[in-house]
Amino acid sequence: AQSVSQHNHHVILSEAASLELGCNYSYGGTVNLFWYVQYPGQHLQLLLKYFSGDPLVKGIKGFEAEFIKSKFSFNLRKPSVQWSDTAEYFCAVTLNTGNQFYFGTGTSLTVIP
Amino acid sequence: KAGVTQTPRYLIKTRGQQVTLSCSPISGHRSVSWYQQTPGQGLQFLFEYFSETQRNKGNFPGRFSGRQFSNSRSEMNVSTLELGDSALYLCASSAGTGGGNSPLHFGNGTRLTVT
């Protein structure tokens, strides 16, 4: 079975610090990769996605992610976090053969003003 | 365009009862998926429907079932509720017909509490 690992369960940063959240997946074939964010009390929203092409993708609110195929990774980054980035972040993978999304267990980010 | 709508927002049920949750997808989306979200477990996939047919199913017991109507609206049913079924149930719709490259659009969820 496919799996998605997010090793950082809870991250606490001060404002202006840089952020990197790890995401690794287990499937060796062609994948589509996503990062979703869930702000407190809100629904899950798409941050960014990767299907093909440039492995460095940019999303909303200054987030970016880099797909490294050899490492089966799709880490999320932001150079300078803000208090408003406090949220839960989920990495997700789909296979080109189907429409089922596989989600990681999520990383809770707390940004201290 | 209206987003994914889930009703009700909150439910409190007693063990042994059954419950039905409803989801209206974004207009034009034919794929509807359901997820169970609990702290520490993330999002667990329940099932996906496309054009009234169940296309994928997760590893949940048969007490969890769903269906999709011709207008793409979907319902999820849980019978013989257990305390462990307490969770946030999320519905997501997608424009995808297959191939996995259409993002999911999520509703706000239904918070089910089983006492």
Cα separation, A81 vs A61, whole angstroms: 10
* Range B61-82 average pLDDT: 97
Give Cα B89 distance to the centre of its chain.
6
Is B106–A102 a contact, with Cβ atoms under 8 angstroms apart? no
Asked if A29 has any chain B CB less than 8 Å from its own CB, the reply is no
The CA-to-CA distance between both ends of chain A, in Å, stands at 41
A70 DSSP 8-state letter: G
pLDDT band at B98 (very low <50, low <70, confident <90, very high): low
Give the gap in angstroms from C-alpha A58 to the nearest C-alpha of chain B.
15
pLDDT digits (tens, 9 = 90+) for A18-73: 999 999 999 878 899 999 999 998 999 999 999 999 999 999 999 999 999 999 99
Joined together, the tokens standing for residue A21 give 């959240």
Which positions 59-88 of B are in contact with A (Cβ < 8 Å)?
A: none
* Averaged pLDDT, B53-64: 93
A77: part of which helix (H) or strand (E)? strand A73-78
pLDDT in tens, B8-41: 999 999 999 999 999 999 999 999 999 999 987 8
Amino acid found at A84: S
Q: How far from A103 is each of A75, B1, B75, CA to CA, in Å? A: 14, 26, 22
